[in-house]
């Protein structure tokens, strides 16, 4: 769901505030084209449709076709026809187009590559070269100590020169968010989300696996934090 432009400020008490300026409600329904749309998916679409219409916003259909192994191409048309059959007419989508296309996730990789590079260039993310083996050892050690497994931020301290050099050499890596150790608070209009704090003490999540691409996998890796 998009609630318009977002600006970030830092208050005097070192709390990060995300101020939301609403210039139009945009909600999206993103089904996976792996078969017929089930009742739960139709209900989700209905909630989004009603919310958008209530706030005079836009209802967007985006096809989540990243699971290439289970993809059923004819499902896209089937989903669109079913939505129209029940009167859930979307404002933007694969067939109708719109200002923020393409509306099939597999066609949006260039946007995500640009976003990843922007995060790296602005210092909001970093490359992590830790192997699956090392992460497994971290997890095993944390479990042994009855602690929640977390990444130890080893690669966060790498210099830009070393990070770029290792990436150019072809060494595998993922990109992680760089979180500061401070409380983070944010407010979203329409009471959709409550205040969240202490994000800086949590996991530094993986933004992307590099090279960025959609793999032929039916599920995410179960290895810790990869």
User: What CATH number does residue 78 fall under?
Assistant: 3.40.50.620
Q: Which of 102, 32, 41, 31 is nearest to 69 (CA)?
A: 32
Domain that holds residue 35: 23-114
In sequence order, what are the beta bridge partners of 26?
2, 58
The pTM of this model reads 0.66
Q: For residue 170, is it within any domain? A: yes
pLDDT of residue 109: 87
Q: For residue 129, is it within any domain? A: yes
Q: For residue 5, is it within any domain? A: no
Whether residues 161 and 98 fall in one domain: no
Q: For residue 17, is it within any domain? A: no
pLDDT of residue 191: 52
pLDDT of residue 221: 36
What element of type H or E holds 116? helix 109-121
Whether residues 106 and 157 fall in one domain: no
Final residue before a domain boundary, out of 93, 114, 135: 114
pLDDT of residue 61: 97
Q: Which of 85, 106, 73 is nearest to 42 (CA)?
A: 85
Q: Is the dihedral of CA 165, 167, 170, 176 positive or negative?
A: positive
Whether residues 109 and 27 fall in one domain: yes
Whether residues 174 and 99 fall in one domain: no
Q: For residue 29, is it within any domain? A: yes
Helix (H, G, I), strand (E, B) or coil at 83: helix
**Cα separation of 136 and 66, whole Å?**
26
Whether residues 98 and 154 fall in one domain: no
Q: For residue 28, is it within any domain? A: yes
Neighbours of 191 (CB within 10 A): 7
Q: What is the CATH number of the domain that holds 167?
A: 3.90.800.10
Tens digit of each residue's pLDDT, the chain (226 residues):
444 434 333 333 333 333 333 457 899 999 999 999 999 999 999 999 999 999 899 999 999 998 888 999 899 999 999 999 999 999 999 999 999 999 999 899 889 889 999 999 999 999 999 999 999 999 999 999 999 898 999 999 999 999 999 999 999 999 999 887 666 565 555 555 445 554 545 567 787 777 766 543 333 333 444 4
Whether residues 107 and 132 fall in one domain: no
**Cα separation of 10 and 16, whole Å?**
5
Whether residues 30 and 52 fall in one domain: yes
Final residue before a domain boundary, out of 63, 97, 114: 114
Q: Rg of the Cα trace of the chain? A: 20
Structure-token match 């989903």, residue found: 79
pLDDT of residue 5: 39
**Cα separation of 198 and 42, whole Å?**
36
pLDDT of residue 66: 84
**Two structure tokens written together for 62:** 């985006």
Q: Are strands 16-21 and 5-10 parallel, antiparallel or unpaired?
A: antiparallel
CB 185 within 8 A of CB 36: no
pLDDT of residue 206: 82
Final residue before a domain boundary, out of 86, 114, 142: 114
pLDDT of residue 10: 37
Burial class (CB in 10 A: 0-12, 13-18, 19+), 148: exposed
Q: For residue 93, is it within any domain? A: yes
State how many domains the chain has. 2
Whether residues 105 and 36 fall in one domain: yes
């Amino acid at each position: 769901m998009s609630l318009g432009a977002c600006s970030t400020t830092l208050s005097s008490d070192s709390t990060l505030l995300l101020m939301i300026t609403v210039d139009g409600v945009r909600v999206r329904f993103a089904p996976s084209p792996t078969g017929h749309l089930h009742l739960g998916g139709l209900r989700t679409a209905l909630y989004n449709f009603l919310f958008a219409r209530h706030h005079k916003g836009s209802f967007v259909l985006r096809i989540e076709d990243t699971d290439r192994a289970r993809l059923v191409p004819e499902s896209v048309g089937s989903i669109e026809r079913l939505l129209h059959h029940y009167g859930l007419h979307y404002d933007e989508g694969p067939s109708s187009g719109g200002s923020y296309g393409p509306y099939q996730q597999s066609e949006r990789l260039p946007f995500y590559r640009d976003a990843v590079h922007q995060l790296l260039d602005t210092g909001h993310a970093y490359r992590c070269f830790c192997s699956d083996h090392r992460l497994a050892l971290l997890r095993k050690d944390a479990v042994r100590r009855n602690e929640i497994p977390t990444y130890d931020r080893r690669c966060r301290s790498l210099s830009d020169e070393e990070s770029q050099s290792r990436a150019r050499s072809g060494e595998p890596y993922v990109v992680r968010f760089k979180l500061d150790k401070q409380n983070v608070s944010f407010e979203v209009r329409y009471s959709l989300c409550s205040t969240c704090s202490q994000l800086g003490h949590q996991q530094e999540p993986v933004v992307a696996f590099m090279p960025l691409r959609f793999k032929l996998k039916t599920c995410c890796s179960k290895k810790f934090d990869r």
